[in-house]
Amino acid sequence: MNRQGLQIGNKAAEFPFIQGGMGVGVSLSGLAGAVAREGGIGIISTAQIGFREADFEKDSKAANLRAMVAELGKAREIATAADGSCKGLLGYNIMNAARDYGDYVRTAAKAGADVIISGAGLPTDMPEYVEGTDTKIAPIVSSEKAARIILKMWDRHYRRTADFLVIESAHAGGHLGFSRDVLERQNEEGFDKEYDEEICRIIDCAREYGEKYSVHIPVIVAGGIMNAGQVQHAFSLGADGVQVATPFVVTEECDAHRAYKQAYINAKAEDIEIIISPVGMPARAINNPFLERIQKEKETIRKCYRCLEKCNPATAPYCITRALIRAVEGDVENGLIFCGDNVGYLTEITTVQEVIRGLFP
């Protein structure tokens, strides 16, 4: 396939793709490092990243900030060739909905992240925390409306624009920027075609702001992409690259427990559920005894990790931190397993190189 890399300002990756950040603990240094080594953009999820640190129970924020820096260092080691070169880039996904969001972004930029990507809400104050650094920033949006709000705010308040933009469709994994009603219609005929038009409008919006600042704002399309045809389709709409997450879960290099990867392999299309997470946002997950149980009874929350700004432990049906950690550590019956819409197509453990070859033969 004829392909060009991805240029984001003064930074470049050999392949025009980003491996989407996956929390908790699914995309850490192992996966992100391998992706960057192969020439892509490897993304470490900062969501409760310190869960394996000794002091996580006592001071999860301190554990998270420390683990963030350590994981980027490990990823750089994996990604860097013997001659000191690296074909890809490395960065973080930091959810805007995270409590102390600004401290995480500041730490990420200071640690030398090439890029930071923020979704799960509108990261209207993101530029403030990277000022004076060379870290490139991107919001994740699902609508033209959201793109316009963010770019207008950044323009007005910070006299700058986005370094790149990620568009996440309704087929993506984790928390989703669509209402439940929209998500229920996503397999209907014409849904994707209609969304392609939204993608084109978001690209037009990026071009407008790019012109204003005399820069090219690369636009990256995400959600349900797992083969070369889908990559080509995104390019045909005017995208500069794609973001892919779910297919990377079943790689040897992915940081999740083997049982988590096996749950992906076992999952069929009919096992996918749209849930409302404790923060009130829709999310996609694999149906399991945990999901069935929490629909009937609330879980006792013994401790609040203060992870998300809007979660109230008094009313939340379960602790999302604990549920995600249980899953990534291999307790797939009792944990929350986020997934993308294409999980049903994954049938075996592969490697990062093989996933990339499928996208860019």
Question: Token pair for residue 32?
Answer: 């992100």
Quote the DSSP letter at residue 344: G
Query: What tokens does 343 get?
Result: 């999980």
Spatial CB neighbours of 310, under 8 Å, sequence gap ≥ 6: 97, 279, 280
Stretch that binds ligand FMN, among 2-10, 147-155, 184-192, 218-226 (CB under 6 A): 218-226
- Is 173 a binder of ligand FMN (CB under 6 A)? yes
* Selected binder of ligand FMN within 21, 42, 127, 335 (CB under 6 A): 21
With contact defined as beta carbons under 8 Å apart, do 173 and 338 qualify?
yes
Helix (H, G, I), strand (E, B) or coil at 319: coil
User: Does 244 contact ligand FMN by CB under 6 A?
Assistant: yes
Rule CB under 6 A: choose which of 45, 48, 135, 230 binds ligand FMN: 45
Instruction: Write out the two tokens for 357.
Output: 């070859």
Which of 257, 338, 355, 360 binds ligand FMN (CB under 6 A)? It is: 338
Query: Using CA atoms, how far apart are residues 277 and 93, in angstroms rounded to an integer?
Result: 19
Contact status: 360 vs ligand FMN (CB under 6 A): no
Site for ligand FMN in 60-89 (CB under 6 A): none
| Number of neighbours of residue 346 by Cβ within 10 angstroms | 20
- Does position 48 interact with ligand FMN (CB under 6 A)? The reply is no
- Kindly state the tokens that stand for 43: 């993304």
Nearer Cβ to ligand FMN (37/261): 261
Query: Among 48, 321, 342, 350, which residue sits at the site for ligand FMN (rule: CB under 6 A)?
Result: 342
User: In the complex with ligand FMN, which residue's Cβ is closer, 18 or 203?
Assistant: 18
Q: Is 326 in the site for ligand FMN (CB under 6 A)?
A: no
With respect to ligand FMN, which residue has the nearer C-beta, 130 or 221? 221
Please state the φ and ψ torsions of residue 360, each to the nearest 5 degrees. Answer: -130, 75
Peptide bond into 24 cis (omega under 30): yes
Residues forming the site for ligand FMN (CB under 6 A): 20-23, 26, 45, 47, 93, 95, 119-120, 140, 168, 171-174, 222-225, 243-246, 338-342
